[in-house]
Amino acid sequence: MPASSLAPSTSLASQLRSRIEDHTASIGIIGMGYVGLPLALLFTGERFHVTGFDVDQKKVDSLCRGQSYIYRIPSAEIEIAKDRGFRSTSDYARLSEMDAVIICVPTPLDHHREPDLSFIRSTLDSIAPHLREGQLIVLESTTYPGTTEEVMVPILESKNPRGLKAERNRENRDDTFYIAFSPEREDPGNETISRRDIPKVVGGLGPDATELACVLYRSIFNRTVAVSGPAVAEMTKLLENIYRCVNIALVNELKLLCLRMGMNIWEVIDAASTKPFGFHPFYPGPGLGGHCIPVDPFYLSWKAAELDFHTRFIELAGEINTAMPYHVVDAVSSALNHCGRTLPGAKILILGVAYKKDVDDLRESPALTIIEHLQKEGAVVSYNDPHIPFVGQGRKYDLQMKSVPLNDLQSYDCVLIVTDHSEYDYSRIVSEAKLVIDTRNATRGNSSSNIVRC
């Protein structure tokens, strides 16, 4: 829809729009992780006054020193941002100085595989005392449809000491703040698409909120896509990731069938990909990882259950993908048996624990589940990952393991490729290892008898 049709009508909205368009607005970004830090750098690059907020003092201190803790973001970019005025802090009282606040905090699943909004709720509790009229608050964290209106708005309206209200229908009030949802679309490790070229979906609680958020994001993204409200934007994000989850589940199930039929699923996918229409390739693996794809189906299923609706198709896809790490463990046990070894006591080297190639992100990585279950079966497990030197305690695991050098591969009973990082010399690995189990088709083209593809 044309920007002119959404032009802010109230003086508060007009003032904020002018500051954004002049790049004099102060922007606070809460959560300096894989989403928030790149976003802060984009805004800083456009000469906005940007402050990064995080409860993790180690991250704050690192940024204050100009040091990056994310593999794909060099420290030089942090130093440049600092020279342009970027600051980081754990002092949430400074939120009162911000014209726009963008929330980029985790939204994991709890132990019952239900939405855990504790990070969002605690962040809103921190914002509310410092909320002021005319501020724009945008949530980017992936969540279920309705979160913005059912969780964000009540907390901010009930807990701010000035009695401020969220704009809903272009009310001409001087006690208004603005609320919007704009899903993050980060793709760690993707170097083919510039962040600026990824369209930004925006849904505001009212027309002014939508337009203000569009103006804000238009300053760093080449295209914004306005939708009718926050719930539509929330559902858009879930659809994008559930689409991937369902299709990956399909090829994972077909992989298991192809293994029984003595076929190579990767060859099948390559052949199908020659069709110039009606087919998009997805690839199997040892399980899903990352923050979004393994989590989003359960967010939607949980919300659907409130409406007495059973998302059977989506839940089945989630079950198939969740089972893949256990298939890998079974494949390791079977391969060792064929070599005259048993899983208990076997020395196993895991190659790659990041959830995808060439990133340093452990979130929901299937490698962690695989390691835990191999250890439970009595295997002696080590790992190597050029991007993750140490695996400590996480939300669901406590491994306390260090990455080991890729030396003396002959000393391991099995080398298990879980994440196909580009740094690995797979020809050398196959030539030196007794047994290689490949879950990523990393050894494609190599017909050595010591390779088992699963």
Active-site residue, selected from the candidate residues 245, 292, 414, 454? 292
Residue 239 falls inside a structural domain: no
**Predicted confidence (pLDDT) per residue in 63-96, tens digit:** 999 999 998 899 999 999 999 999 999 999 999 9
Please provide residue 120's backbone torsions phi and psi, each rounded to the nearest 5 degrees.
-65, -45
Residue 209 falls inside a structural domain: yes
Burial label for 233, CB within 10 Å (0-12, 13-18, 19+), is buried
245 pLDDT above the threshold of 90: yes
4 pLDDT above the threshold of 60: no
Residue 142 falls inside a structural domain: yes
The reported pLDDT for the residue numbered 297 is 84
Q: Number of structural domains, the chain?
A: 2
The reported pLDDT for the residue numbered 192 is 82
Q: Is 454 a catalytic residue?
A: no
6 pLDDT above the threshold of 60: no
Residues 125 and 209 in one domain: yes
154 pLDDT above the threshold of 90: yes
Residue 269 falls inside a structural domain: no
Confidence of residue 398 (pLDDT cuts 50, 70, 90): confident
Residue 272 falls inside a structural domain: no
Q: Which of 158, 193, 228 is the last residue of a domain?
A: 228
Residues 298 and 219 in one domain: no
Confidence of residue 254 (pLDDT cuts 50, 70, 90): very high
Write 12-15 long-range contacts (CB < 8 A, 24+): 12/133, 12/134, 12/174, 12/176, 13/134, 13/167, 13/178, 13/208, 13/211, 13/212, 15/134
Task: Locate 7 and state its tokens.
Answer: 């032009």
Q: Which of 197, 228, 259 is the last residue of a domain?
A: 228
Confidence of residue 118 (pLDDT cuts 50, 70, 90): very high
Residues 211 and 289 in one domain: no
Residues 338 and 405 in one domain: yes
Residues 294 and 221 in one domain: no
Q: How far is CA 213 from the centre of its chain?
A: 22
Reduced to 3 states (helix: H, G, I; strand: E, B; else coil), residue 148 is helix
Residue 256 falls inside a structural domain: no
Residues 223 and 287 in one domain: no
In which domain, by residue range, is 184 found? 3-228
CATH code of the domain covering residue 369: 3.40.50.720
Mean pLDDT of 434-446: 96
293 pLDDT above the threshold of 80: no
Residue 242 falls inside a structural domain: no
Residue 259 falls inside a structural domain: no
